[in-house]
Amino acid sequence: MSTEFLIALVAMAAVSFFCRVGGFWVMRFVPITPRLEAALRALPLGVMVGILAPVLRQGRIAECAGLAVVVLAMRLFGSDLAAALAGVATVAVLRLIVP
Amino acid sequence: MQAPPFTWAGVRHGFLRAQPLGAGVLIYGLVFGILATEARLSALEAVLMSIFVYSGSAQMAALQVMREGAALLPLLATVLLMNARYLLYGAAMYPWLGGAPPAQSYSSLFFLGDANWALSMAERERGQDDAGFVLGSGLAMFLPWVGGTLAGRLMGGLIPDPASLGMDFMLVAFSAALMMGMWRSRADLWPVLAALAAGLVLVPMLSAGWVIVIAALAAGAAGALMHRP
């Protein structure tokens, strides 16, 4: 295990633990307004979009078809795991056909 | 503030009550272990990450940032943004755990996950007072997460070429599915559009880590601006 990874691990663990206890601790002093709550709730959606953005921008056939399958499978089955696996399978198959 | 009861019976009850959710966590742990293989993490590194970071979404996003060259600042910002919802979880827990001794409340918060937080809050509504329930249900999520990570990482080593199996697409596919699962109402449209605009513009200019961070901040700003009381 590299020193670089160890530093990253300790820092990530500290940030993660801070998130777990931070809101709990702050509640002693600050009331969370509905507007602040709306902002915090929107953050995970933004992170997901940020992960998808490079794929959408590059616009390769296999990956875009994979995303379409994920959306469709999610609509049909409502299981994120099943939808993700269907998307991965689509990409794997299309990569064999489309170079 | 009055201390809530915190008994081993409560811990045990929470642990057993959360078992059906544990199976799902085990599979997510396997997926993370396989993704960790692809990001060239050792088994020890993957397991330590699952123990101490203990957040599926944050860890998967962190892997993506690490693949881009492991700059520390975008990595930490990603974990912070992915886990920002825990600030709310903790705040919502305060009226219940606030009066408990720090050893009890902070250990309960260390093992807190999305599922056991939701389960605990629901149980609380139904009259559950024993704060041990939070720790017990948290442990029921934590153990399969760490075990699944190890198993997935060891199995992941047997996969010849992740790209040929589409495994490098797993995180993207998972994010898209999780996003649809997170979708609550049309109010979510504005944060998504703001993040999409920011992301598409910034992709050629910035590393993947910063694209994620700025897309999230754009979503947060849109969420706050478009909020209707």
Chain A residues within 8 A of B223 when measuring between CB atoms: 38-43
* Mean pLDDT along residues A48-54: 90
Q: Residue B150: its pLDDT value, please?
A: 96
Q: Report the run of H or E that residue B31 belongs to, with start and end.
A: helix B19-38
Q: Residue B179: its pLDDT value, please?
A: 82
- Of A74-83, B38-47, B153-162, highest mean pLDDT: B38-47
Q: Residue A22: its pLDDT value, please?
A: 93
Per mean pLDDT, which range of A17-26, A40-49, A85-94, B216-225 is the poorest?
Answer: A40-49
> What is the C-alpha to C-alpha distance for residues B108 and B93, in angstroms, rounded to an integer?
10
- Of B33-42, B120-129, B202-211, highest mean pLDDT: B33-42
pLDDT tens digit sequence for B149-205: 999 999 876 655 656 777 778 778 877 887 887 777 888 899 999 999 999 999 999
Nearest to B27 among A11, A41, A81 (CB): A81
pLDDT tens digit sequence for A4-28: 899 999 999 999 999 999 989 987 7
Find tokens 């794929």 and name the residue.
Answer: A55
- Residues B135, B182, B34, B44: is their CA dihedral positive or negative? negative
Nearest Cα neighbor of A1 from B48, B129, B39 is B48
Whether the predicted pLDDT of B1 surpasses 80: no
Would you place residue B6 in the very low, low, confident or very high pLDDT band (cuts 50, 70, 90)? very high
- Of B149 and B21, the structure prediction assigns the larger pLDDT to B149
pLDDT tens digit sequence for B84-142: 878 878 887 888 898 899 999 999 999 998 778 878 877 887 788 999 999 999 999 99
Nearest Cα neighbor of B39 from B193, B165, B220, B168 is B168
Would you place residue A32 in the very low, low, confident or very high pLDDT band (cuts 50, 70, 90)? low
Q: Is the separation of the CB atoms in B105 and B97 below 8 Å?
A: yes
Q: Residue A98: its pLDDT value, please?
A: 80
Q: B70, A4: Cβ pair inside 8 Å?
A: yes
Chain A residues within 8 A of B173 when measuring between CB atoms: 66-67, 70, 83-85, 87-88, 91
- The residue extents of the domains of chain A are 1-30, 33-99
Q: How many CB pairs under 8 A join A and B?
A: 281
Q: A87, B224: Cβ pair inside 8 Å?
A: no
Sequence-distant (6+) residues with CB within 8 A of B127 are none
Query: Residues 39-68, chain A: which have Cβ within 8 Å of B?
Result: 39-57, 63, 66-67
- Of B193 and B65, the structure prediction assigns the larger pLDDT to B193
Q: CA of B220, closest CA in chain A: separation in Å?
A: 4
Chain B residues within 8 A of A97 when measuring between CB atoms: none
